Homo-oligomer: A and B are copies of this chain.
């Protein structure tokens, strides 16, 4: 699935100023309103744009500590039962099954380092989790972003 240069510009525009309506977008991009509407519909239908949800900052809610916790689990149990339990912990923001020495990697947040201990305890308590290893993210010089990728696709995907 590839995207157009216009698609990329549309996504970039909406990322920069998400409050913009379809009409404003069409004005800024110099195309007809119907076109923007069609493009947006197409992007959503294709699954390229999965939503326009509000981006919530855990830090603004007092969750200043971010950590990556990798863990080994009891293999016989499989991955999913453990992941299901982990999903019940609100502070667990993300879970991946991974290659390498560990089996799962998850991103967690906590209010303080002491609070992180509490969260990790909850993870260790999950049935099937054998051992965990925590890495604290001290700083995030590059916060999550997709824009450069989006801008890059039209140059490689087409032609």
Contacts and interface: CB of A to CB of B under 8 A. Distances in A.
Interface of A: 1-3, 11, 14-15, 18-19, 43, 46-58, 60-63, 66, 68, 79-80, 83-84, 86-87, 89-100, 105-107, 109, 135-146, 148-153, 157
Nearest to A16: B53
A86 B87 CA distance: 31
Integer count of this chain's copies in the complex: 2
Interface majority SS (helix, strand, loop, mixed), chain A: mixed
B80 A138 contact: no
Contacts of A58: 146, 149
Contacts of A89: 148
Given A90-B148, A150-B61, A95 B140 contact: yes
Contacts of A19: 52
A51 B106 contact: no
